[in-house]
Amino acid sequence: MLNTIYRIVIALLCFGPAARAETPAVLDASAVPHVSAAGRTDYQRFLLQAVPRAFALSEDGAWGWAAAIDDDPVATETRAVQNCAAWGGRGCRIYARDLDVVWPGREAMARPAPATPLAGGAGWRLQPDGRFLWQGPEQARGVYLWAHGRSAGGADSRGTQPQPHARAFNNAGYDVVRLDRDPATDETEAGAAWMRVALAELRARGYRRVVAAGQSRGAWNALQALDAPGRADAVIAIAPAAHGPTGSIAHAWALDDLRRVVAAARSPGTRIAIANFSGDEFDPDPNGRAAIFGAFAGRGAALLLLDRPPGLTGHGAGADWRFTLRYATCLLDFAEGRVRGCG
Residue 140 sits in the same domain as residue 46: no
Query: Which secondary structure element, helix H or strand E, spans residue 45, and what is its range?
Result: helix 37-46
Q: How far lies 102's CA from each of 55, 93, 124, 289, 294, in Å? A: 10, 9, 35, 47, 47
pLDDT score for 90: 96
Residue 157 sits in the same domain as residue 66: no
pLDDT score for 152: 73
Position 84 pLDDT exceeds 60: yes
Antiparallel, parallel or unpaired: β 124-128 and 174-181:
antiparallel
Residue 187 sits in the same domain as residue 285: yes
pLDDT score for 21: 54
4 in any annotated domain: no
Percent of the chain with pLDDT over 90: 88
Mean pLDDT of the region 20-36: 90
Q: What does the mean pLDDT of the chain come to?
A: 93
Residue 186 sits in the same domain as residue 221: yes
pTM for this entry: 0.92
Residue 30 sits in the same domain as residue 167: no
pLDDT score for 250: 86
Position 15 pLDDT exceeds 70: no
Position 325 pLDDT exceeds 90: yes
Q: Which domain holds residue 161?
A: 119-336
pLDDT score for 6: 38
Mean pLDDT of the region 295-307: 96
Residue 162 sits in the same domain as residue 45: no
335: closest CA among 164, 174, 138?
A: 174
* Final residue before a domain boundary, out of 67, 101, 135: 101
Position 1 pLDDT exceeds 50: no
Position 2 pLDDT exceeds 80: no
89 in any annotated domain: yes
What is the pLDDT confidence band of residue 4, given thresholds at 50, 70 and 90?
very low
Residue 52 sits in the same domain as residue 84: yes
Position 326 pLDDT exceeds 90: yes
- Give me the CATH number covering residue 136: 3.40.50.1820
* Final residue before a domain boundary, out of 101, 136, 167: 101
In whole angstroms, what is the distance from residue 112 CA to residue 133 CA?
Answer: 7
230 in any annotated domain: yes
Residue 289 sits in the same domain as residue 327: yes
Mean pLDDT of the region 89-94: 97
Q: Return the sign of the alpha-carbon dihedral for residues 261, 263, 268, 273.
A: positive
pLDDT score for 11: 42
7 in any annotated domain: no
Q: Are 121 and 48 in contact (CB under 8 A)?
A: no
52 in any annotated domain: yes
Mean pLDDT of the region 233-238: 98
Mean pLDDT of the region 27-56: 97
pLDDT digits (tens, 9 = 90+) for 31-41: 999 999 999 99
Residue 90 sits in the same domain as residue 136: no
pLDDT score for 296: 97
Number of domains in the chain: 2
pLDDT digits (tens, 9 = 90+) for 106-161: 999 999 999 999 999 999 999 999 999 999 999 999 999 999 999 877 899 999 99
108 in any annotated domain: no
2 in any annotated domain: no
188 in any annotated domain: yes
Residue 93 sits in the same domain as residue 130: no
Residue 181 sits in the same domain as residue 135: yes
Task: Supply the DSSP string of 3-25, one letter for each residue.
Answer: HHHHHHHHHHHH---TT-----G
Position 19 pLDDT exceeds 50: no
* Final residue before a domain boundary, out of 50, 75, 101: 101
pLDDT digits (tens, 9 = 90+) for 183-220: 999 999 999 999 999 999 999 999 999 999 999 999 99
Residue 252 sits in the same domain as residue 142: yes
Mean pLDDT of the region 244-264: 93
